[in-house]
Amino acid sequence: MGLNETPSGERTHIGFFGSRNAGKSSLVNAVTGQELAVVSDVLGTTTDPVKKAMELLPLGPVVIIDTPGFDDEGALGLKRVQKTNEILRTCDIAVLVADSIRGMSEADNELLELIRNRNIPYLIVWNKTDLGSELTAPEGAALVSSLTGEGIHELKERLSKLIPDKKEKQLASDLVKPGDLCVLVCPIDESAPKGRLILPQQQTIRDLMDHGAIPIVVRDTELEQLLSKEGIKPSIVITDSQAFKAVNAIVADEIALTSFSILMARYKGYLETAVRGISAVKDLKDGDRVLLAEGCTHHRQCNDIGTVKIPRWLKAYTGKDLIIETCSGNEFPDDLTAYKLVIHCGGCMLTETAVTARMEEAVSQNVPFTNYGIAIAFITGALERSLRLFPDLHKLLESMDTTQSTLEGRG
């Protein structure tokens, strides 16, 4: 995806599910007007989900996901359900493609149940109407022929109505006034991507600019110099979590301080859960399992934080012999009960739906869920300060028992 396009995390993700040969790939091609997916008479042609970001009227920016047949041979039982759940978790909308000649199969009904279980908006598509089926379509199904294009226009109209209303949310601009100076601390070390800033930084800058605030971007190494300049009185400092400890020490106490990660967690709707989750740190014992989960597989910076830094800091902070496990990309275990804590990345590449789905699964299994940024803020002793911007959450943190936080954390 090019840098000039809507980030994947902001796009409506639409997944096409169904049995082999129902016409999922044909339908994806008909809906997108592109030869995106491989159509074939050979069973099980699509073996991995195929994703494509595009602008699609009247749907707007979307990611279209073509999936393998749910009844594919080789993908059996639990594995099949787990794979489907992995994809469903990322979907804002699900389309169940049924072959109108075959009718709803057992696999189709099983799929329908998985979709309904997740409470995501969905539509059943009764495909191959050109063949003149004798069977009655399921109630509410959209009747289409992917071959002739009949019903495709109406299908797109119906899909666009299923897109959940995006609440107008801001990353940071609601915390400041137009004209306010906002200092953004973006360390640039060997793990930073070449020639650009990472997505949460870009998005925060843009959000502040959209609202007439004045972002000033510095490395941690120039922060002191900046703040010592005449007339530089920022109303907020937003830092990369990795520099939290140093930035916390440099920025005067009366200036609001928080991190990109905390803002992103708020934006994606799970900041409160993440704050609650952090209290699990004090209960960690020798041999406890902690899962560090990442939303993508290609951010070297996140990877370094997740696989190296947080494990080191967490072990040093708790003084416990923890078993740290990691997962990344679409993989995320269905069963989380083996873990005493899940620490997720900021989720900048995931949609709100996808991060929330992971969070809800953890919460429903009584497994505390937090994120990289909250964990780092907590360990470095900066969490209390960085939540002052959000009085309800600050109160929540004060009311929680985080006993160990009074110990000196080693950053």
Ligand X SMILES: Nc1nc2c(ncn2[C@@H]2O[C@H](COP(=O)(O)OP(=O)(O)O)[C@@H](O)[C@H]2O)c(=O)[nH]1
Cβ atoms of 288 and 323 within 8 Å: the answer is yes
β-sheet with 214-218: strand ranges across: 214-218, 181-185, 236-239, 256-259
Structure letter (DSSP) for residue 76: -
Write down the least CB distance from residue 199 to Mg ion, Å.
Answer: 31
Select from 8, 146, 248, 273 the one that contacts ligand X (CB under 6 A).
146
What is the C-alpha to C-alpha distance for residues 120 and 89, in angstroms, rounded to an integer? 9
Between 22 and 348, name the residue whose CB sits nearer to ligand X: 22
Write down the least CB distance from residue 111 to Mg ion, Å.
Answer: 14
The token pair that represents 155 in the structure block: 């299908």
Select from 12, 19, 29, 46 the one that contacts Mg ion (CB under 5 A).
46
Choosing among ligand X, Mg ion, none, which partner's interface includes residue 85 (Cβ < 5 to 8 Å by kind)? none
Helix and strand tally (H, E) in the chain?
Answer: 15, 14
Select from 41, 106, 139, 401 the one that contacts ligand X (CB under 6 A).
41
Amino acid symbol at 152: I
Choosing among Mg ion, ligand X, none, which partner's interface includes residue 23 (Cβ < 5 to 8 Å by kind)? ligand X
DSSP 250-262: HS-TTSEEEEHHH
Q: Please report whether residue 25 would count as binding ligand X according to CB under 6 A.
A: yes
For the chain, first and last CA: distance in Å? 35
Select from 89, 128, 268, 340 the one that contacts ligand X (CB under 6 A).
128
Q: Please report whether residue 125 would count as binding ligand X according to CB under 6 A.
A: no
Q: What angle do CA 370, 376, 406 make, to 5 degrees?
A: 100
Binding region for ligand X (CB under 6 A) out of 36-44, 157-165, 310-318, 341-349: 36-44
CA torsion sign for 392, 397, 398, 399 is positive
What is the C-alpha to C-alpha distance for residues 263 and 372, in angstroms, rounded to an integer? 12
Select from 9, 18, 277, 311 the one that contacts ligand X (CB under 6 A).
18
Site for ligand X in 282-321 (CB under 6 A): none
Binding region for Mg ion (CB under 5 A) out of 40-48, 150-158, 186-194, 196-204: 40-48
The token pair that represents 309 in the structure block: 């830094």
Q: Please report whether residue 127 would count as binding ligand X according to CB under 6 A.
A: yes
Q: Please report whether residue 69 would count as binding ligand X according to CB under 6 A.
A: yes
Helices (H), 118-227: 152-162, 199-210, 223-227
The token pair that represents 294 in the structure block: 């990442």
Write down the least CB distance from residue 128 to ligand X, Å.
Answer: 4
Between 43 and 338, name the residue whose CB sits nearer to ligand X: 43
Choosing among Mg ion, ligand X, none, which partner's interface includes residue 205 (Cβ < 5 to 8 Å by kind)? none
Q: Please report whether residue 29 would count as binding Mg ion according to CB under 5 A.
A: no
Q: Which residue is nearest to ligand X (CB)?
A: 23
Select from 7, 82, 103, 130 the one that contacts ligand X (CB under 6 A).
130
Select from 12, 13, 31, 39 the one that contacts ligand X (CB under 6 A).
39
Amino acid symbol at 358: R
Choosing among ligand X, Mg ion, none, which partner's interface includes residue 131 (Cβ < 5 to 8 Å by kind)? ligand X
Nearest by Cα to 383 from 405, 403, 367 = 405
Choosing among Mg ion, ligand X, none, which partner's interface includes residue 40 (Cβ < 5 to 8 Å by kind)? ligand X
The count of C-alpha atoms lying within 13 angstroms of the C-alpha of 11, restricted to the half-sphere facing its C-beta, is: 22
Select from 12, 19, 25, 29 the one that contacts Mg ion (CB under 5 A).
25
Select from 12, 46, 204, 380 the one that contacts ligand X (CB under 6 A).
46
Choosing among ligand X, Mg ion, none, which partner's interface includes residue 125 (Cβ < 5 to 8 Å by kind)? none
Structure letter (DSSP) for residue 338: T
Query: Biggest alpha carbon distance in the chain?
Result: 80
75 burial level (CB within 10 Å; 0-12, 13-18, 19+): middle
Chain residues binding ligand X by CB under 6 A are 18, 20-26, 39-41, 45-46, 69, 127-128, 130-131, 145-147
Chain residues binding Mg ion by CB under 5 A are 24-25, 46
